[in-house]
């Protein structure tokens, strides 16, 4: 057997899995469709929980200095047009920060640096098929096949999985996420804001000298604002968000994504496992997608260490069940809760935010759920 595992996809979750399994004494190979460095320009902002930062450091990823990385030391949650707000801080959770914000390209760069001398990463190896046999898998690419004990699919979309008997359930939220980078003249640089409106949340995440925004909107409105002149965009953002972060002054890097919840089942079939966005794509409301993917990778590593020769992935599904269901449920509920116009729901939401703010125990639980491990 050439390798213990073939990782299909060298995005952040696939690279993390390769580093974690290498550190556990296994032999991974990463097969990535894109050329080296192709993701460096991807400026998408990822919110990393405190626990994810620790995991990344543990496998040798050198994250950029915190001054340039956007620490989240507090989260301010509010609801447009309603009373009730909540202020959740890192000290509620007894940790130095709740998390931090990094660009996708920066993260892949840090992971690629750690993998450079440790892991066999093959770029421009787009996988076209995975064929299991008695004691392993053949992973087929136009640049050459690879044989391994197991294949772990981390390709982001799960496009190859249907052929291997996996199925996918998709829920379309009917809204888009408009993402951008903005600057504002307010003083707070280490606060993340989550403001809920009728269409869903508007998140401001501290990044560099400004904020990364993720704004949930109907498709037409998202596309219109993505193409609007800067001044019109900034006015609309100011109207929707208010003045807590000061006056918004510049905007860059606007893009739109449709928002769906996609879940793949099962997580394992024989010698093929699925992790990261290929396993579940979440609404970005709580910034949990990438963090959940890292925990998938961690669980695959433990499963491979514990598994038998005949059933190397035996424990993976069971160890992911609770965490996955909890995070999917939490994210989906949050995405829907603040959109409902049913009578009384507005008052309940306000009450919930006030209760969260007034009860230190509840704040601590919530802060630890976001920063440490949401599903545990």
3-class secondary-structure state, position 86: strand
Select 42 or 185, whichever has its Cβ closest to ligand FAD. 42
Q: Which one among 46, 161, 182, 328 touches ligand FAD, defined by CB under 6 A?
A: 46
Select 260 or 362, whichever has its Cβ closest to ligand FAD. 260
Map residues 248-267 to x or -, x wherever contact with ligand FAD holds by CB under 6 A: ---------x----------
Numbers of helices and strands, H then E, in the chain? 11, 19
Q: Is 47 in the site for ligand FAD (CB under 6 A)?
A: yes
Cis peptide bond prior to 354, omega within 30° of 0:
no
Binding to ligand FAD, residues 170-189 (CB under 6 A): 177, 179
Select 3 or 84, whichever has its Cβ closest to ligand FAD. 3
Q: Is 28 in the site for ligand FAD (CB under 6 A)?
A: no
Map residues 118-137 to x or -, x wherever contact with ligand FAD holds by CB under 6 A: --------xx----------
Question: Is there a contact between 35 and 123 (Cβ–Cβ < 8 Å)?
Answer: yes
Q: Is 375 in the site for ligand FAD (CB under 6 A)?
A: no
Q: Is 24 in the site for ligand FAD (CB under 6 A)?
A: no
Select 90 or 101, whichever has its Cβ closest to ligand FAD. 101
Strands (E), 9-119: 28-31, 45-49, 71-72, 74-79, 85-89, 99-103
d(Cα 89, Cα 97) in Å, to the nearest integer?
Answer: 8
Rama region for 114: left / alpha / beta (φ>0; ψ in -120 to 50; rest): alpha
Q: Which stretch binds ligand FAD (CB under 6 A): 8-16, 82-90, 238-246, 355-363?
A: 8-16
- Which tokens sit at 118? 């440790």
Residue 149 per-residue DSSP state: E
Map residues 202-241 to x or -, x wherever contact with ligand FAD holds by CB under 6 A: ------------x---------------------------
Q: Which one among 70, 289, 312, 375 touches ligand FAD, defined by CB under 6 A?
A: 289
Q: Which one among 291, 301, 315, 319 touches ligand FAD, defined by CB under 6 A?
A: 291
First CA to last CA across the chain, in angstroms?
A: 36
Pairing mode, strands 167-184 and 146-153: unpaired
Question: Is there a contact between 327 and 288 (Cβ–Cβ < 8 Å)?
Answer: yes
Q: Which stretch binds ligand FAD (CB under 6 A): 12-20, 21-29, 190-198, 321-329?
A: 12-20
* Beta bridge mates, 49: 99
In Å, how far are 46, 138, 236, 254, 363 from 183, measured between CA atoms?
Answer: 18, 49, 14, 13, 29
Residues that bind ligand FAD (rule: CB under 6 A) add up to a total of 33
In Å, how far are 49, 67, 298, 301 from 295, measured between CA atoms?
Answer: 11, 26, 5, 10
Q: Is 156 in the site for ligand FAD (CB under 6 A)?
A: yes
Q: Which stretch binds ligand FAD (CB under 6 A): 150-158, 260-268, 355-363, 366-374?
A: 150-158
The residue behind tokens 């421009």 is: 124
Q: Which one among 290, 298, 316, 330 touches ligand FAD, defined by CB under 6 A?
A: 290
CB of 272 to ligand FAD, least distance (A): 13
Q: Is 27 in the site for ligand FAD (CB under 6 A)?
A: no
Q: For 285-300, b where at least 16 C-beta lie within 10 A, e where not — what string?
A: bbbbbbbbbbbbbbbb
Residues that bind ligand FAD (CB under 6 A): 8-14, 31-34, 44, 46-47, 126-127, 154-156, 160, 177, 179, 214, 257, 276-277, 284, 287-291, 293
């Amino acid at each position: 057997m050439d390798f213990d595992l073939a990782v299909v996809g060298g995005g952040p979750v696939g690279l993390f899995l390769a580093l974690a399994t290498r550190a556990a004494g296994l032999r991974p190979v990463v097969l990535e469709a894109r050329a080296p460095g192709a993701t460096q320009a991807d400026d998408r902002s990822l919110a990393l929980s405190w626990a994810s930062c620790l995991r990344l450091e543990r496998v040798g990823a050198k994250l950029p200095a915190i001054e340039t990385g956007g620490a989240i030391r507090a989260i301010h949650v509010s609801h447009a047009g309603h009373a009730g707000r909540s202020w959740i801080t890192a000290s509620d959770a007894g940790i130095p920060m709740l998390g931090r914000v990094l660009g996708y390209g920066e993260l892949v760069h840090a992971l690629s640096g750690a993998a450079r001398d440790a892991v066999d990463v093959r770029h421009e190896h787009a996988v076209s098929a995975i064929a299991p046999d008695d004691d392993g898998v053949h992973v087929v690419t136009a640049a050459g096949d690879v044989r391994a004990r197991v294949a772990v699919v981390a390709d982001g979309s799960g496009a190859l999985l249907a052929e291997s008997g996996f199925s996918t359930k998709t829920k379309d939220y009917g809204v888009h996420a408009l993402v951008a980078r903005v600057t504002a003249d307010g003083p707070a640089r280490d606060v993340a804001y989550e403001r809920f409106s009728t269409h869903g949340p508007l998140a401001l995440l501290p990044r560099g000298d400004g904020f990364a925004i993720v704004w949930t909107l109907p498709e037409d409105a998202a596309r219109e604002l993505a193409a609007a002149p800067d001044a019109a965009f900034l006015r609309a953002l100011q109207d929707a968000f208010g003045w807590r972060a000061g006056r918004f002054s510049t905007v860059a890097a606007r893009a739109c994504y449709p928002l769906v919840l996609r879940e793949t089942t099962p997580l394992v079939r024989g010698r093929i496992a699925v992790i990261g966005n290929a396993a579940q794509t979440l609404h970005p409301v709580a910034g949990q997608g990438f963090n959940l993917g890292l925990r998938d990778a961690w669980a695959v590593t433990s499963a491979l260490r514990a598994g038998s020769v005949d059933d190397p992935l035996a424990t993976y599904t069971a160890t992911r069940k609770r965490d996955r269901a909890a995070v999917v449920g939490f994210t989906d509920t949050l995405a829907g809760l603040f959109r409902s116009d049913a009578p009384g729901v507005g008052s309940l939401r306000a009450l919930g935010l006030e209760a969260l703010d007034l009860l230190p125990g509840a704040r601590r639980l919530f802060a630890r759920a976001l920063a440490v491990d949401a599903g545990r």
